[in-house]
Chains A and B, each alone.
Chain A
Amino acid sequence: MEFHIRCDASEIARYVFVPGDHDRAKKIADHFDNARLVSDSRGYMVYTGTVDGIRMTSMSTGMGGPQVAIGIEELGHMGADTFIRVGSCGTLQDSIQPGDLIIPTGVYRGGATGDRYLPPAFPAAPNWAVLTALVQASRKLGIKAHVGLGWSSDAFYALPEPQFIAKLKQAGVLAVEMEADTLFIVSSFRGFRAGAIFANDGTATEVKPAWAEEAFRRGEEQEIRIAIEAMKSIALADAAAR
């Protein structure tokens, strides 16, 4: 059995959603048929069920790179090879509103966990098939999503230099969050496929304002639908390629 995710390997599906938030892991599992809580250790809430007959797992990683890395490594040991992070984020851009969705094409490696795998010069980019499945799912469902860059950081409450933030803003960085860098780097290293989608809970000037909560929750429900639709299309393509 794995050191931290304590369950039988047969309980884990090949296709896994990896939100940070425990509540969101449950919300995703609520879209599954016959979802079962298969593990609840070290804060990893792990549910497995099916969508249109395809087995899928939803697991909360908690916040930050170290827990993401342990989470997806152990899921990988148990047979998972396709990951979609369904996250929340803030934004650097004035044009992005609370509840807006962002699909990252690459992220700034502000976290340190990925550095233990591959040097910072290695691009933290999603798998192309997962990225395009997410974009196509959003179009199919008629839900608008921004497609662009993100910034993953280890320290929610630290104070980065205003000049540095201004530079990333100029360079078009849309989303700010804490896990995608680790997910993308560990996945590249291990040969897993990974992608991500975020629902924005702030504005360029405000961190998680209370007035934005309702719009964010709508965005969260939309990103879950997009992620599930994308995962389904990836699984169907895998089955057809066999």
Chain B
Amino acid sequence: MEFHIRCDPKEIARYAFVPGSHDRARQIAAHLENARLVSTSRGYLVYTGTVEGIRMTVCSTGMGGPSAAIAIEELGHMGVDTFVRVGSCGTYQDYVDCGDVIISTGVFRAGGTANNYLPVAFPAVPNFDLTHAMVEAAGRLGIKVHVGLGSAGDAFYAPRDEAQRKLLAQAGLVAGEMESDTLFVIAALRGWRAGALFACDGTSKATKPESGEAAFHQGEENALRIAIEAMKSIALADAADR
């Protein structure tokens, strides 16, 4: 058995959603048929169920690179090879509002965990097929998304380097969050497919404003519907390839 995610490997599906938040893991599991809680150890809430007969797992990673890295490594040991992070984020851009959904095409590696795997010059980018599947799924569901770059860092409350923030905003970064750098880099090294999308809970001026909360929760629901739809199409393509 794994050191931290304590369950029988048979309980884990090939396709996994990896939100940071426990509540969001529960929310995604609510969209699965016959979802069962298969592990709760170390704060990883792990549910497995099916979507139209396709087995899928949801695991909350907690916040930040270290706990995300352990989660996806152990899920990988148990047979997961396809990960979609369904996260929340803030934003660098004035044109992004609370509740907007952002699909990541690459991320600035401000976190430290992935540096233990591959040097910082290695690009933290998602798998193309998975990302393309999410963009297509958003189109089919009629949900507007932004598609672009983000940053992922370790320290939510650390003092901000305003000069760097300005530079990164000019270079077009859309989303700011804390886990996708680790996810993309480890998935590359291990040969897994990973993608990420986020619901924005702030604006370029305000961090998690209360006035944006209802819009954010709508965005969160949109993001997880896109993720499930994309995962389904990836699983169907895998089955057709076999």
By a beta-carbon cutoff of 8 Å, the part of chain A in contact with chain B is 105-110, 118, 120-125, 128, 131-132, 135, 147-149, 167-168, 170-172, 188-189, 191
Q: Establish whether residues B171 and A125, one from each chain, have CB atoms under 8 Å apart when the complex forms.
A: no
Say yes or no for B105: interface residue by CB 8 A criterion.
Answer: yes
> For the side of the interface on B, what is the size category?
20 to 34
Stretch at the interface among B24-32, B123-131, B213-221, B233-241: B123-131
- CB<8 Å pairs between A and B, sample of 7: A105-B127, A118-B171, A120-B121, A123-B108, A125-B123, A149-B123, A149-B188
Report which of B128, B135, B148, B149 forms a contact with A105, defined as CB distance below 8 A. Answer: B128
Report which of B109, B125, B147 forms a contact with A149, defined as CB distance below 8 A. Answer: B125
Say yes or no for B106: interface residue by CB 8 A criterion.
Answer: yes
> Shortest CB–CB separation between residue B165 and chain A, in angstroms?
13
Q: Establish whether residues B121 and A109, one from each chain, have CB atoms under 8 Å apart when the complex forms.
A: yes
A-contact 0/1 string along B109-131, CB 8 Å cutoff: 11000000010111111111101
In the complex, residue of chain B having the shortest beta-carbon distance to the beta carbon of A126: B105
Q: Establish whether residues B121 and A110, one from each chain, have CB atoms under 8 Å apart when the complex forms.
A: yes
Say yes or no for B211: interface residue by CB 8 A criterion.
Answer: no
Report which of B105, B118, B172 forms a contact with A167, defined as CB distance below 8 A. Answer: B118
Q: Establish whether residues A121 and B105, one from each chain, have CB atoms under 8 Å apart when the complex forms.
A: no
Note all chain A residues with C-beta closer than 8 A to B124: 106, 123
Note all chain A residues with C-beta closer than 8 A to B122: 108, 168, 171
Q: Which label, helix, strand, loop or mixed, suits the secondary structure of the A interface?
A: mixed
Say yes or no for B56: interface residue by CB 8 A criterion.
Answer: no
A-contact 0/1 string along B82-125, CB 8 Å cutoff: 00000000000000000000000111111000000010111111
Given A109-B123, A149-B188, A188-B149, A118 and B128 contact (CB-CB distance below 8 Å): no
A-contact 0/1 string along B176-192, CB 8 Å cutoff: 00000000000011010
Distance A67 CA – B186 CA, assembled complex (angstroms): 33
> Shortest CB–CB separation between residue A204 and chain B, in angstroms?
16
Report which of B106, B127, B131, B147 forms a contact with A123, defined as CB distance below 8 A. Answer: B106
Given A121-B108, A122-B108, A172 and B147 contact (CB-CB distance below 8 Å): no
Given A106-B125, A121-B109, A132 and B132 contact (CB-CB distance below 8 Å): yes
Note all chain A residues with C-beta closer than 8 A to B148: 128
Say yes or no for B1: interface residue by CB 8 A criterion.
Answer: no
Given A188-B171, A191-B172, A123 and B125 contact (CB-CB distance below 8 Å): yes
Note all chain B residues with C-beta closer than 8 A to A188: 149, 171-172
Q: Establish whether residues A121 and B110, one from each chain, have CB atoms under 8 Å apart when the complex forms.
A: yes
Q: Establish whether residues B106 and A106, one from each chain, have CB atoms under 8 Å apart when the complex forms.
A: yes
> Shortest CB–CB separation between residue A188 and chain B, in angstroms?
5
> Shortest CB–CB separation between residue B37 and chain A, in angstroms?
34
Distance A171 CA – B171 CA, assembled complex (angstroms): 26
Report which of A110, A123, A131, A170 forms a contact with B128, defined as CB distance below 8 A. Answer: A131
> Shortest CB–CB separation between residue A37 and chain B, in angstroms?
34
> Shortest CB–CB separation between residue B56 and chain A, in angstroms?
24
Report which of B108, B131, B189 forms a contact with A170, defined as CB distance below 8 A. Answer: B189
> Shortest CB–CB separation between residue B143 and chain A, in angstroms?
17
